[in-house]
Structure 1
Amino acid sequence: MDVFYAYTYSTGGWLLLQSVPLIAMPRMISTMLLDETRPPTPLEIYLCRCLGLSLLTMAVLTVMLTGSIPLTSTIAEPVSTEESDPKKPYAVPTLVVTSVFHAACSFYMYTWYMTSDQVGFAVGMVGYFALAALGLWCALFASSHGKISRKTGADKRTTGFPFSNKEAEKKHASKWL
């Protein structure tokens, strides 16, 4: 399985895992978060369900916009994550936005963990950090196939600055002589 699709499905699953309790059990969630013993207000229940639906929507959009779910009825071409692919032009921007979201949530959970020392925040921080790191890796290395030279097998987008590759230049010069 491609790392890009592992990131996509992991993001969708992580957000789905968080959204289901917020939608299905808002009274229990808001009661657990209260310091005093009282029933939650209708506004608290509304905000729990609204956050759950928002997370669920973000999970579905992430999976759809990255091309993990084909939106056409025919599958004629192999799946790729290139930016020029017309089937999923939003794959890389969605990847970047969700990676930034995971990084921000990881930092936010870290601040809550440091002030409260609750294990739940540490678990959430680790989950968000893992997804942010995987998203950063995908943005850096898995978003294009590179421009590989047929003659030398090297990536054409690299340069010799500040160090030049004398051996490669010698091999290249000897081919043409």
Structure 2
Amino acid sequence: MAQKVMGALEVYFSRSLGFTLIALGILTVLLTGSVPLSSRLSEGATTSAEDPKAPYALPTLTITAMFHAIYAFYGYAMWTKTGVMSFSLGTLGSGFLAMVALWCILFASSNGRISRKTGADKRTSGFPFKNAEADKRKGK
């Protein structure tokens, strides 16, 4: 099978996409507050209103999660169409990053439902099982 030589336009678009992905990665790391931009901001970013990095953390993470989810879907579509194994690896990588970002959006924000006193999740209920031990302590 003869190998097709890439044209100048294809090389340009491939390199542009690579540079775009590198820039997107750097912006994601900087805007989520993972890297402090000055020496006085030594802690990571939170989503609390008092944090000066807070306005950018959650929107950046949301856009990044959508990007990786779309990229994983596109990689999967190309993998099923062509059967090239590289697309499956890209699908797994982007899918993993999308899941991590989704987990951070849902559970790692300051607005989470974790009790500061006990560390338990406040959203839990007894359905369909009854928590007899907790009912004894509450006097029910």
TM-score w.r.t. length of structure 1: 0.62
Distance in 2 (CA, whole Å) between partners of 1:154 and 1:169 is 19
Q: Which runs of 5+ in 1 are unaligned?
A: 1-33
Q: Any idea what SS the aligned residue of 2:123 has?
A: coil
1:71-150 equivalences under 5 Å are 71-75=37-41, 78-84=43-49, 85-144=51-110, 146-148=113-115, 150=117
TM-score of the superposed pair, with normalisation by structure 2: 0.76
- Are the counterparts in 2 of residues 148 and 156 from structure 1 also a CA contact under 8 Å? yes
Moved more, 46-55 or 103-112: 46-55
- Equivalent residue, structure 2, for 1:36: 4
* Offset at residue 36 of structure 1 (A): 3.2
Q: Distance in 1 between matches of 2:119 and 2:96?
A: 31
Q: Which amino acid aligns with 1:168?
A: A
- Secondary structure at the counterpart of residue 168 of structure 1: helix
Return the alpha-carbon distance in structure 1 between the equivalents of residues 89 and 70 of structure 2. Answer: 15
- Contact 1:106/1:129 (<8 A) preserved: yes
Question: Following the alignment from structure 1 to structure 2, what is the Cα–Cα distance between the partners of residues 110 and 75?
Answer: 40
Question: 1:80, 1:94 → 2: CA distance?
Answer: 12
Structure 1 or 2: more helix by fraction: 1
Structure 2 regions of 5+ residues with no counterpart? Answer: none
1:55-85 CA deviation, whole Å, 9 max, x = no partner? 1210111000010111223146x33433432
Match of 1:158 in 2: 123
Separation in structure 2 between the aligned mates of residue 169 and residue 80 of structure 1, nearest angstrom: 38
In structure 1, the partner of 2:35 is: 69
Superposition deviation, residue 162 in structure 1: 5.5
Query: Which amino acid letter does the alignment assign opposite residue 118 of structure 1?
Result: V
**Superposition RMSD in Å:** 2.9
- Measured in 2, the distance between the counterparts of 1:140 and 1:71 equals 26
| Number of residue equivalences | 136
